[in-house]
Amino acid sequence: MKDNKVFGVMQRVGRSFMLPIAILPVAGLFLGIGGSFTNATMLEAYGLTKAIGPGTAVHMVLSVMNAAGSIVFANLPIIFAIGVAIGMAKAEKATAALAGAIAFFVMHASLSAVIMNHGGPENLIAGATTDVLGITSLQMGVFGGIIVGLGVAALHNRYYKIELPQVLSFFGGTRFVPIISSVVYLAVGILMFFVWPPVQSAINTVGDLVRGSGYPGTWLYGFMERALIPFGLHHVFYLPFWQTSVGGSMEVAGKMIEGAQNIFFAQLADPNTVRFSSEATRFMSGKFPLMIFGLPGAALAMYQMARPEKRKIVGGLLISAALTSMLTGITEPLEFTFLFVAPFLYVIHSVLAGLAYMLMHVFEVGVGMTFSGGFIDMFLFGILQGNAKTNWVWIVFVGIGYFVAYYFIFSFIIRKWDLKTPGREADDEETKLYTRADMNKKTDAPAAAGGLSSEDQQSRQIIQGLGGKKNIVDVDNCITRLRITVTDGSLVNDDILKASGAAGIVKSGNGIQVIYGPRVSVIKSHLEEYMERAGDDLDMATPIAAAPTEKAEEQKKSENTAQENHQEITIYAPLCGQAIPLSEVPDPAFSAEILGKGMAIKPKEGLVKSPVEGTVELMFETGHAVALKTAEGAEVLIHVGMDTVQLKGKGFETLAKAGDYVKPGDDLIRFDMELIEKEGYQTVTPIVITNSDNYAGIEEVAKGEVQFGDVLYRLN
């Protein structure tokens, strides 16, 4: 279980890298075109000096493109700090982004101050410092950004809902995240002065070992990069080679550059570059024979092996997938198709991938890439730069051999073992290419049959009850219910939602409210995390558990076995106003007693006091509702107004917090009645017992006007 948790975290870390990595193709496009066509040597070689040389409007545009591309690669550390923080944050991602940027500046500023207090850069080894956004700091590269992004995300996920004492309440919640991040990374900056140099030395040692490994090391890199794709861990693997000294260090245009990709793009931006370093591009060039030639050969083999009557359908699918691989280097439809039907084919593919990287290293091919390794990258960073700089023609020579090898290897294996590649499946099966979602669904099937945790099982049922993941537009919650917007309300299945533990369902067109009680915020968090992991095709057709989830069963069992109280529990009026029965409340969740029995008050004063002696179980962060629990076990919910969660805390002030022990008459919430009514919301306030099924009933006492402390009703 622990290994699975670590694996899951590593997958999330890998996915978080994708946001900053995704900008690189655009930045590379700007730099590739702008840098190439502003290079005097290239302009002379192609006879373009007069047409687009210095002084022309085109040259000015190209210079701007070159600068726009260069600035992205020059500032990858802060881009990773912000991007990783966003990717790892569970909610309120904008706050995480701001905190990531602030923490990055604070860490490097404090680190710079320590450097200056220890004699300045002159007292450190050569190349140890660099300029980071105008700050003299240690050469940490994207590792500095990743350290900030991961740390800030951890702080954010822990503290973004924090409640501070009343005097400091303004700084609570999401506002606290940038504050705590600044404090922590001030300390981290100081610590890094002492910690980072030995870490950097260790990284450099690893880099020396990698460079010393020669061609076998390059083969191993290529094999591992492909082999980790099914697990979603390849980004974690290749990023250190591309962005840190593990992938090499080189002085370019008077600056020490670390990381294979950074070296290539620094050389691309340098007009004095005569030849691109194949020692850097050894970690990139191997993709080109695979993407442009090898996988299209596999696609042709699958087409030829398809049954004649299905070739027309298969041909359209495979041509589209092959062209995508060739042009952009995006290979998922092809790779996951043969991974799905025959995993050992993927092993062969990974071995050949390692060989492709090694051959590119042997032939000193110096073609870099932004992200994927398709023809677009090959044209911009290989053909356009000229063979003298890149040796790009070897990609074609090796690639032709790869096309032939993939075609014959795949044809032989498919025929020999009768693999059910597209077009060879049974007549009643759909002809399709497979994706990562299909693979995840296949590997998760045993868990779905009974190995899911109780939280995941409940989340799965909720998704299915709402008509599938694709039918869900938005998920929110108030203190007792999930509030979901769906695409098609007719797909919502009440029985499945009730099986998940819901007390009731309220529908209004495509707006769905699923009532779970005070635990709903926890249920929502589990649901959002499960939706992130679940495949897009999770729908009502997927088998579901017939019984309520383990958590719901435990809760029900707990309720049924609760101590039977023969003494009366008195619920006092928590507000001044007019007492009314729940049936007059304009919300079916309350009027139909779905949330429990009780009464309501139309308030005349914007103050809520405790109606019982007990503990504050939950104070909703928007301040519009509070849940209490008495010593006898009665669970009391006070909900100020109708749908006031939409105000997001505007007009509400919390006067107590979760865990506080309160007595009748203690202040809980202050609210602005005039503001709430001006915003168009009613202030009628239900006071209900959410576990009223445990009791014989309630005796309504109050009628008409009530004051604080008057008996509202008694629980029998």
Catalytic site positions = 478, 639
- Note whether 480 and 504 are within 8 A (CB): no
Q: What b/e readout covers 667-680, taking b as 16+ CB neighbours within 10 angstroms?
A: ebbebbbeebeeee
SS3 143: helix
- Contact at 8 Å (CB) between 530 and 483? no
> What are 541's two structure tokens?
């057709």
Q: How far is CA 367 from the centre of its chain?
A: 31
What pairs with residue 705 in β-bridges? Answer: 578
Residue 255 region, left (φ>0) first, then alpha (ψ -120 to 50), else beta?
A: beta
Q: Point out which residues pair with 513 in neighbouring strands.
A: 483, 506
- Separation between Cα atoms, residue 22 and residue 439, nearest integer Å: 23
CB 510 within 8 A of CB 487: yes
Amino acid in position 194: F
**Three-state SS at 362:** helix
Structure token pair of residue 36: 């190439």
Instruction: Count the Cβ atoms, other than its own, within 10 Å of residue 663.
Output: 10
In 380-406, which positions are buried (b, 16+ CB within 10 angstroms) versus exposed (e)? bbbbbbbeebbbbebbeebbeebbebb
Judge contact between 568 and 714, C-beta under 8 A. yes
Retrieve residue 289's tokens. 């024979």
Q: How far apart are CA 34 and CA 583, in angstroms?
A: 70
**Taking the chain, what is the end-to-end CA distance rounded to the nearest angstrom?**
45
286-to-392, 522, 616 alpha-carbon distances in Å:
11, 46, 61
Task: Say if residues 212 and 339 touch (Cβ distance below 8 Å).
Answer: no
**What's the rounded Cα separation, in Å, for the pair 12 and 435?**
19
Q: With beta carbons less than 8 A apart as the criterion, state whether 281 and 367 touch.
A: yes
Helix-strand-coil split of the chain, %, nearest 5? 55, 15, 30
Burial label, 484 (beta-carbon count in 10 A; 0-12, 13-18, 19+): buried
In sequence order, the 6+-apart residues with CB closer than 8 A to the CB of 123 are none
Give the CA-trace dihedral at 24, 26, 32, 37, to 10 degrees: -150
Strand, helix or coil at 140?
Answer: coil
